[in-house]
A and B are shown apart, each in its own frame.
Chain A
Amino acid sequence: MNGYVAAGYGLIWASVLWYAWRLRRRLATTAQKLSEAERRNE
């Protein structure tokens, strides 16, 4: 396979998966902070 083509498709996959993973982390962190804030308010 052409190296430029492999790099392009690889970049697409890596970026999409990395961004999805980052979103998952951010969601988990924010949800945890929100739970802690709600517990403090009770």
Chain B
Amino acid sequence: MGRSAPYVRWLGVSALILMAAGSYVGLFVVGADVEMGEVQRLMYVHVPAAWTAFVAFFLVFVGSVLYLVQRDSRADRLAVASAEVGVVFITLTLATGMLWGKPTWGVWWTWDPRLTTTALLLAIFVGYLAVRGFADDPERRARWSAIVGILGFIQVPIVYLSVVWWRSLHQPPSSPRSVGGDIYATWMLNFAAFLLVFAYLAARRSRLAKLETELEARLAYD
């Protein structure tokens, strides 16, 4: 009953292989940055982790809207699964950013607009998960968290544009025009890997949500 469909298992294996490939390329294949040196290799996981978190929170937004419109429990499961895995990735974004910031800026943390808005994003979606613990009724739980999920997504473009709107230590958004081809290719490889990891973990988390709902219904029947 807890076992996932075969395609999910293959998704997990593919994610593991691609993540290993991305780490190998980021650590041993692409040369160190001329200015930043070896520590720049953290960018090959920090940037893709951030992008994956943004995708995750976008899916929370989509699931939340779909739930409020259609009252379909599958949409709620998409939202909660994406939120939980998104929290993992945004935490990793902050952690790898701090590991890069210490040798580069000399500090683990600064109340810079990009860092502050990202920390707020983490707090919002931790709050989303906490809100789900407040309601016993599944329908009320899904509705409350859907509202948080929709409003919370507003923080994602704020994080992205924070380096444009305010003076920030953090680098502005990058593109193939602003960075070298091998850097961008390594970002894309790790982004693809993290997306597969996200898909696998979210599928498993969604299955867990389905089982938890069934268990809740069974225990209410007792």
Residues of A near any B CB (own CB < 8 A): 1-2, 4-5, 7-9, 11-13, 15-16, 19-20, 23-24, 26-28, 30-35, 37-38, 40-41
CB < 8 Å A-B pair total: 96
Question: What are the residues of chain B within 8 A of A24 when measuring CB–CB?
Answer: 2, 204
Q: Which of B12, B102, B201, B214 contacts A34 (CB 8 A)?
A: B214
Closest 7 CB pairs of A and B: A31-B2, A27-B2, A31-B1, A2-B38, A37-B218, A30-B211, A8-B96
> Could you tell me the distance between the alpha carbons of A19 and B201 in the complex, rounded to whole angstroms?
8
Secondary structure class of chain B's binding surface, majority of residues: helix
Total count of chain B residues near the partner, CB < 8 A: 40
B21 contacts the other chain (CB 8 A): no
Assess whether B27 is in contact with A11, with CB atoms less than 8 Å apart: no
Assess whether A34 is in contact with B211, with CB atoms less than 8 Å apart: yes
Assess whether B39 is in contact with A4, with CB atoms less than 8 Å apart: yes
Assess whether B218 is in contact with A34, with CB atoms less than 8 Å apart: yes
> Could you tell me the distance between the alpha carbons of A27 and B95 in the complex, rounded to whole angstroms?
28
Residue ID in chain B nearest A6 by CB atoms = B27
Secondary structure class of chain A's binding surface, majority of residues: helix
The residues in B between 199 and 222 inclusive whose CB is less than 8 angstroms from any CB of A are 200-201, 204-205, 207-208, 211-212, 214-215, 218-219, 221-222
Question: What are the residues of chain A within 8 A of B212 when measuring CB–CB?
Answer: 30
Stretch at the interface among B40-48, B116-124, B130-138: B40-48
Q: How far is the CB of A6 from chain B (nearest CB, A)?
A: 9
Assess whether B221 is in contact with A34, with CB atoms less than 8 Å apart: no
Residue ID in chain B nearest A33 by CB atoms = B215
> Could you tell me the distance between the alpha carbons of A24 and B2 in the complex, rounded to whole angstroms?
8
Assess whether B2 is in contact with A28, with CB atoms less than 8 Å apart: yes
Assess whether A41 is in contact with B204, with CB atoms less than 8 Å apart: no
